[in-house]
Amino acid sequence: MTTEKETIKDNPAWTGSFVARELGVRISSDPSGAVAVADLVGLALRRNPRRAHLLVSTVLAKHVPTEPLLVKAVGELLGVFVARSLGGLLPSRDYGDDGETLDVLLGSATIALTHALSSNGASRVLAIATFAAQVKRLRVEIPDAIVIGYAETATGLGRLVANSLGSYYIHSTRHATPGVVQTTGFEEGHSHATSHRMVPTDPGWLDRSGPLVLVDDELSTGSTVINTIRSLHSMVHRPTYVVATLIDVRSAADRERFNTLAAELDCRIITATLGTGSIELGPDILDRAAEIISGVSAPSLVLTGTGRTSLLELTAQDIAPVRSDRFGSAEPPPAADMALVARRVAAFIEDNGCSGPVVVLGCEENIYFPLTVAEELAALRPDFDVRFSTTTRSPIVPINRADYAIADSLMFASHDNTVDGPGQRFAYNLQGMSPRNGTIVVFPEPGVDADTIISGRPDAGLQGLMPALATAADDVLAVLLPANYPLPSLPAKDKQ
């Protein structure tokens, strides 16, 4: 009899099959989970000596260009799962026209998500629209909650959860923030960049009375979450923490660590997740991965691009300067501003003879604003076939085959001001698309000047963001946004 693990590992349509087969990785789903884990992730190889494999989300749009409506609806659905996990904090009311309960509607929404993930072509478009419409009926407000997203991967996902709950939001950061004091930090042991910083501008950001919600794309060991809760609990003792993730594949021993920590701190630690299961790693996985990687050519430096490059610069006269959620915010950017930017982008594409398919690309921690623009653009011009993705600092091994999650890689110089200084950045799955991308619309970190994204770092052999992207599309448009940078924090003696 074929087990579920064997079925997942040997399925040639799954973008994790190659790694599962070659490295002996086995992923299984708990029947109690809302969505099968293998529907939510594929697998790739990291260039990281601490961890060989990478779970590549099919719904997060961090490494795989994805329909923006799907990305937003999944994030909002996770927010509803958070609300349900809190039980008694929910208002008592009917959700559907026929008095359906929250559990019934959540069940329908997750079935619709599974259907969307398994669909293709026109049926997928319809399935995503159906799923998103069901999610919109489910929003539940918990305004006294505090939501924290993890940089860089979950900064947009955290904002979507916070929007769903109507709560305060802040994400950790690896950016340098001159004049803004770090209040706390924590470590992520397996990450390519391990240190997270918290730089809220509101000194009372932890004073809200509700639960504290930690949002990440995956929960594999829980060590980063444990480090975070310890750090935050030392500042403010809080009775309830919720850990919200797209997938939870912790071992039984790692799950018990949450229980142990909760008993030690005298608090509740609840998890809310779409997919629950487990992951088993084959023996000598690091050595076996290194052997495969040694046979894969590293990305080469492309000195010149083939596509046109253009700039669209908006000023404070056009939209409100964009405040990063790394500083904390009770509300997302104004919807009218993001809709205006989408109209400007649509007009630019049409006026300049650009074509689809279109990929809207956020940059590292700057995810939510361009994601919403992508959603608006897709609604304005469905003929553009809009997808959304983001750049990242994570070095991943590209292998162009159907049963592997990362087909291709672009490398370029960073343009943002980070604590660890300038370095390499990457964008994935942009060159192997069929047909070739007509247009890439990229959103650098707000406040960045054009020269930074064009010139790169020739001294380090790193081209700029714009010429790198020009190798993957006929047109590349960079949208430059004004930044609302907070005033410098005052020393305590000056706060009189």
User: Span 63-74, mean pLDDT?
Assistant: 98
Residue 137: the pLDDT is 87
* Model pLDDT for residues 133-157, shown as the tens digit of each residue: 999 988 788 999 999 999 999 999 9
Q: Which residue has the higher pLDDT, 89 or 453?
A: 453
Q: Is 36 exposed, middle or buried (0-12, 13-18, 19+ CB in 10 A)?
A: buried
Checking if the pLDDT of 304 tops 60, the result is no
The predicted-structure confidence for 395-417, as pLDDT tens digits, reads as follows: 999 999 999 999 999 999 999 98
Per-residue pLDDT at 88 exceeds 60: no
> For 185-236, what is the HEC assignment?
EEECCCCCCCEEEECCCCCCCCCCCCCEEEEEEEECCCHHHHHHHHHHHCCC
Mean pLDDT of 277-285: 90
pLDDT at 493: 43
Output the pLDDT for position 303. 45
Average of per-residue pLDDT across 317-327: 97
Residue 317 has pLDDT above 60, yes or no: yes
Cα(285)–Cα(291) distance, integer angstroms: 10
Residues 421, 183, 167, 189, CA torsion sign: positive
Residue ranges, comma separated, of all CATH 3.40.50 domains in the chain are: 68-280, 308-480
Q: Which amino acid is at 186?
A: F
Determine contact, residues 383/464, Cβ cutoff 8 Å. no
Query: Backbone phi, then psi, for 16, in 5-degree steps?
Result: -115, 0
The three-class DSSP label of residue 374 is: helix
pLDDT at 3: 41
Listing DSSP states for 28-52 in one string gives EE-TTSSS-HHHHEEEEEES-TT-S
Token pair of 380 as six digits: 């304005």
* Fold of the CATH domain 68-280: Rossmann fold (3.40.50)
How many whole angstroms from its chain centre is CA 424? 19
At residue 283, the pLDDT reads: 86
Say yes or no to pLDDT of 7 above 50.
Answer: no
HSE on the CB side for 382, CA within 13 Å?
Answer: 6
CATH number given to 308-480 = 3.40.50
Per-residue confidence band for 186, with pLDDT thresholds at 50, 70 and 90: confident
SS3 361: strand
| Confidence (pLDDT) at 347 | 97
Burial track 78-100 (b if 16+ CB lie within 10 A, e otherwise): bbbbbbbbbeebeeeeebeeeee
Residue 98 pLDDT class (50, 70, 90 cuts) = low
Find the radius of gyration of the CA atoms of the chain.
22
Is 435:357 a contact under the CB 8 Å cutoff?
A: yes
Above 80 in pLDDT, residue 65?
A: yes
Residue 130 CA, distance from chain mean position:
22
Structure tokens at 270: 């609840």
- Average pLDDT, integer, range 459-472: 92
Question: How far apart are the C-alpha atoms of 466 and 453, rounded to whole Å?
Answer: 6
User: What is the predicted pLDDT for the residue at 101?
Assistant: 79
pLDDT tens digits along 481-491: 999 999 765 54
User: ω into residue 357 within 30 of 0, thus cis?
Assistant: yes
Read off the pLDDT of residues 111-136 as tens digits, 9 standing for 90 and up.
999 999 999 999 999 999 999 999 99
Cβ atoms within 10 A of the Cβ of 104, count?
A: 13
Q: What per-residue confidence (pLDDT) applies to 471?
A: 92
On average, the pLDDT of the chain sits at 90
Confidence of residue 228 (pLDDT cuts 50, 70, 90): very high
